[in-house]
C-alpha cells in the first residue's frame, strides 16, 4: 500500500544478469539474460492449474477457479513475499485480461501474509539449515501434535520464536492435557458405565444446555474466524470449548454419579460426548488424522455444525489420541 499510495509504482526489471534460469527468447539481448524468478514463479499458480486439469483428463476444469466470480483465491505467504503477490501477480493477471478464452482471470481475494517463525533468534530457513524440516519433526512428534504446536504459534501478527522444547510443551500442556484427555476420559467412561454404547440421556438441566450452547456459539465464531483467515484464534475457540467441557466434567463428576445416580451419569456423558462432537469439527482442520479416528467412531460430520449422537452407537475402549512427549 505504501508503494501504491505514497511512493508511486516504478518500473521493475523482469530480467536478471545470470547464467542460470529461464532464458529470454530475444536474440539481441545476448547471453546472460534470464527471467527474474519472482516474475516467473507466480505464473505457476495458473499454469499448475491447467497442467493439473489436463492430467485429470478434464482440460477445461482450470476455468472453474480462474473464470469464476464465485471462486475465492487466498494466498498464504510470508511477509517477504508480499510485493510479488500483491503487485506483480495482479498486474500480470490484469495484463493478460481476457486473452485466455475471452474471459478475465480471477484476481487475488486475500493475501494473509504471516510474519517469520524464528529458531533461537534466526529466521527459519530450510536452505540455511535453521530450524527443522518436516521430516525431522515427524521423527520426534506425531503429525497432528506437530501441526497443533505450529498452528498454536502461527506468526500472524509478529515473529514467533519456536523450539523443540516449546513444541513439546504445547503438546503436553495443551493438546494432551486438554483435548486428548477430554476425549479419552469421556469415551472411557461411556464404554465402562454405559454398556459400551451411547446411552439414552435424561432431561438436560441448565448446566447441560449451557455447555452445548457454548460449543455451538464457538462453532459459529470459529467459522467466522476461518473466513477472516484468523486461524490461531479459530484454534483457540476449539481449545476453549474443550476446556469448558473438562470443567463441566469436573463439576458434575460422572464417575461418582455412576454409583449414586446412574441415569444422571448417562445424561452427563451424553452431553460431554455431544460437546466433543462439535469441538472435533472446529479442530479437524488442524488435527486431520486424529479427527479421522473420531469420524470412524462417531460418524462423519455434515458441514460446520455439531451432529446429534446416535443412541446405541457402540463405543469401544479407546486408545489415547496423542502421546505425551518425554523431554
Average pLDDT over residues 243-264: 97
What percent of the residues of the chain are helix, what percent strand, and what percent coil, each to the nearest 5? Answer: 55, 5, 40
Evaluate if residue 312 carries a pLDDT over 90.
Answer: yes
pLDDT at 55: 97
pLDDT greater than 80 at residue 29: no
Return all residues near 26 (Cβ < 8 A) that are at least 6 apart: 33
- pLDDT category, 133, cuts 50, 70, 90? confident
> Nearest 5°: phi and psi at 8?
85, 145
The 3-state DSSP class for residue 252 equals helix
Pairwise pLDDT comparison (310 vs 161), residue with the higher score: 310
Backbone φ and ψ of 16, nearest 5°: -135, 150
Please give the pLDDT value at position 128: 66
Partners of 161 in beta bridges: 118
Q: Could you give all domains of the chain from N- to C-terminal order, each with its CATH number?
A: 2-113 (3.40.50.620), 162-298 (1.10.730.10)
Amino acid at each position: 500500500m505504501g508503494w501504491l499510495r505514497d511512493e508511486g509504482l516504478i518500473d521493475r526489471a523482469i530480467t536478471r544478469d545470470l547464467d542460470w534460469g529461464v532464458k529470454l527468447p530475444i536474440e539481441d539481448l545476448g547471453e546472460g539474460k534470464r527471467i527474474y524468478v519472482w516474475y516467473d514463479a507466480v505464473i505457476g499458480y495458473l499454469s499448475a492449474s491447467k497442467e493439473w486439469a489436463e492430467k485429470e483428463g478434464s482440460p477445461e476444469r482450470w476455468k472453474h477457479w480462474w473464470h469464476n466470480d464465485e471462486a475465492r483465491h487466498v494466498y498464504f505467504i510470508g511477509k517477504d513475499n508480499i510485493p510479488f503477490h500483491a503487485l506483480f501477480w495482479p498486474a500480470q493477471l490484469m495484463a493478460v485480461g481476457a486473452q485466455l478464452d475471452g474471459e478475465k482471470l480471477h484476481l487475488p481475494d486475500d493475501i494473509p501474509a504471516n510474519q517469520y517463525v524464528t529458531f533461537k533468534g534466526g529466521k527459519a530457513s530450510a536452505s540455511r539449515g535453521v530450524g527443522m524440516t518436516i521430516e525431522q519433526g515427524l521423527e520426534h512428534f506425531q503429525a497432528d501434535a506437530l501441526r497443533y504446536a505450529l498452528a498454536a504459534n502461527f506468526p500472524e501478527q509478529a515473529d514467533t520464536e519456536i523450539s523443540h522444547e516449546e513444541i513439546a510443551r504445547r503438546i503436553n500442556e495443551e493438546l494432551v492435557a486438554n483435548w486428548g484427555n477430554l476425549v479419552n476420559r469421556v469415551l472411557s467412561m461411556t464404554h465402562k458405565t454405559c454398556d459400551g454404547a451411547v446411552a439414552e440421556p435424561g432431561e438436560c438441566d441448565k448446566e447441560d444446555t449451557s455447555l452445548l450452547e457454548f460449543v455451538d456459539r464457538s462453532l459459529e465464531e470459529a467459522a467466522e474466524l476461518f473466513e477472516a483467515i484468523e486461524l490461531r484464534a479459530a484454534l483457540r475457540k476449539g481449545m476453549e470449548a474443550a476446556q469448558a467441557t473438562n470443567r463441566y466434567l469436573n463439576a458434575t463428576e460422572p464417575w461418582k454419579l455412576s454409583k449414586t445416580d446412574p441415569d444422571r451419569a448417562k445424561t452427563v456423558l451424553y452431553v460431554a460426548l455431544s460437546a466433543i462432537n462439535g469441538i472435533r469439527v472446529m479442530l479437524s482442520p488442524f488435527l486431520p488424522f486424529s479427527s479421522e479416528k473420531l469420524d470412524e467412531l462417531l460418524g462423519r460430520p455434515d458441514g460446520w455444525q455439531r451432529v446429534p449422537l446416535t443412541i446405541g452407537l457402540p463405543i469401544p475402549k479407546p486408545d489415547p489420541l496423542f502421546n505425551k512427549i518425554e523431554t
